[in-house]
């Protein structure tokens, strides 16, 4: 179980937290929960999302449950450091869509005393580690893997099966294009 930690004001403790899992597992919901707690404690936050993610909102991070927070829209990970204004918490949603520089940017921020919270898919629809997520999982101090419920059998689901007949690794969508499955049901299909 993940225990949130809060460094003393005079210390420069930074770290990286990764929230990962399949589609519909609650990654964004957990990210928003952590950020709302930080806001309640009067901690300054900066939330980023990739420009490609316009499913629910262009300028907000929105969970499947409808909870949302304002976000800064960026095209690449280097924009994070350019837009960072010394906030103690930097959060990134849909991290799998970013470039290979994201782990370096996150490490730089953590080394400056920033709490970096990242949410993203750990695997694509083919069950292959997705984008910069494997590297981020390796360098993170804290990893939380969340699971959806398999829509076929009701077990815990860790795979995102694409139901849309479209090619390419990146296909932004929700229930109209994906469904969560457990290992057994995923490999049966």
Catalytic residues, by residue number, are: 94
Q: Under the phi-then-psi rule, with left for phi > 0, alpha for psi from -120 to 50, and beta for the rest, what region is 168?
A: left
Give kind and range of the element (H or E) at residue 158. Answer: none
11 to 86, 91, 109, 112, 114: CA distances (angstroms) = 15, 20, 15, 11, 11
Q: Tokens 């005393």 label which residue?
A: 113
CB-based burial label for 77 (10 Å; 0-12, 13-18, 19+): buried
């Amino acid at each position: 179980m993940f225990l949130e930690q809060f460094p003393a004001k005079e210390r420069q403790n930074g770290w990286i937290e990764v929230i990962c899992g399949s589609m519909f597992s609650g990654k964004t919901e957990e990210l928003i929960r952590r950020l709302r707690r930080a806001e309640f404690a009067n901690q300054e936050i900066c939330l980023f999302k990739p420009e490609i993610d316009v499913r629910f909102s262009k300028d907000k991070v929105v969970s499947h449950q409808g909870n949302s927070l304002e976000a800064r829209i960026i095209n690449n990970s280097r924009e994070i450091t350019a837009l960072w204004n010394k906030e103690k918490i930097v959060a990134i949603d849909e991290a799998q869509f970013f470039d290979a520089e994201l782990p370096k940017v996150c490490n730089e921020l953590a080394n400056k005393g920033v709490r970096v919270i990242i949410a993203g898919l750990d695997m694509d629809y083919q069950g292959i580690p997705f984008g910069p997520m494997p590297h981020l999982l390796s360098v993170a101090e804290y990893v939380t893997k969340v699971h959806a419920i398999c829509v076929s059998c009701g077990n815990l689901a860790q795979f995102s099966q694409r139901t849309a007949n479209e090619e390419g690794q990146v296909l932004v969508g929700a229930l109209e294009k994906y469904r969560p499955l457990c290992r057994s049901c995923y490999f049966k299909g």
